[in-house]
Amino acid sequence: MKLLIVDDSSMMRTTIENHLQNYDLQIVGKASNGEEALQMVIDKKPDVVTLDITMPKMDGIQCLEEIMAVAPQTKVMIITALSDKYTGLEALKKGAREYLYKPVTPEDLKEGFDSLLNRN
Amino acid sequence: MDVQQLAFEKTVNVFINSLSNYFLKLTKKPIKTYAPFVKEPEDLIMKECTGMIGISGNKKGLIYISGDMGMFEDLIKQYVGLNSPTANDMLDMAGEVSNVVAGNVRETYGHEFMISIPVVFKGTPDRLKFPDDVPIYVIPMSWNGHEAFMVVGIK
């Protein structure tokens, strides 16, 4: 399974990579903004994307809309500090399959990822 | 205490709760906070590593979280799992902590509480910006033997 990690924090990209090491994943890219992420989705066709929202150039909500337009089968898990219900619902309506609030523990990530993989 | 100051102190408490939750959830080690005090922007001396978030929408202002490199190094080792972080990694972590602390405040203030992407810097810049007529609270804290502080200036 191909994974793309998107977060403007390099430490969060490393955290997500380290905490998902037990899954059979091929990390096909890491992006620090929505524009880079969209290009990587087009070029590398990941099965799963972990997507931050507050990012430069293109935020995660706009990026999610663009991903759903070009690759609607992609499973997107939002991982964001924005902990209000409105933003979570907006992301789910726009096609995200999971929504995790930072700060995320390794257990949160595994639970969210398992839930994402077990859904049709 | 007037109504405006009371409201501001409630806001400060929301940020303190968010900061406490961050460290406790990720490291299982609580922070200790000390009595907040008011400071003029020109008198603020930042620590080695600072993350700053701009606030707009239904509140306006800035928050800073500032600590020594050692605190962010310790946090990276415990949370990220990176044993030899660079100075840039520690600055990035300062930005990420400030992002999460500010972003989690939306649980209280809703989606119209807008946050910027983090700005990070080393040491004290020539000028720290705050909105006019806003009390600037410094909240000292310690975590795992490291001293740091959060600065909140919001209206």
Domain annotation covers residue A8: yes
Domain that holds residue A8: 2-114
- The predicted pLDDT at position A120 comes to 55
Q: The domain that contains A86 carries what CATH number?
A: 3.40.50.2300
Domain annotation covers residue A120: no
Answer yes or no: is pLDDT of B3 > 80: no
Domain annotation covers residue A21: yes
Contacts of B118 in chain A (CB under 8 A): 8-9
Contacts of B81 in chain A (CB under 8 A): 14-15, 18-19
ipTM: 0.94
**Residues of chain B with pLDDT > 70: what percent?**
99
A95 vs B135, more confident: A95
- Determine whether domain B3-154 maps to CATH 3.40.1550.10: yes
Mean pLDDT of chain B: 92
Query: Can you read off the two tokens belonging to residue B152?
Result: 């909140």
Answer yes or no: is pLDDT of B7 > 80: no
Domain annotation covers residue A13: yes
- The predicted pLDDT at position B129 comes to 77
Contacts of A56 in chain B (CB under 8 A): 117
Cα A17 to Cα A12, A43, A112, B66, distances in angstroms: 8, 20, 14, 27
Domain ranges of chain B: 3-154
* Number of domains observed in the structure of chain A: 1
Of A9, A18, A87, the CB nearest to B96: A9
Cα A77 to Cα A51, A74, B12, B117, B126, distances in angstroms: 6, 10, 31, 20, 40
**Crossing angle of helices A85-93/A60-70, nearest 10°?**
10
Identify the residue among A53, A84, A100 best suited for mutation to test binding to B, counting B beta carbons within 10 A and taking the highest: A84
Does the distance separating the beta carbons of A54 and B79 come in below 8 Å? Answer: no
Which residues on adjacent β-strands are paired with residue B61?
B55, B154
Q: What is the dihedral of CA B2, B4, B6, B12, to 10 degrees?
A: -150
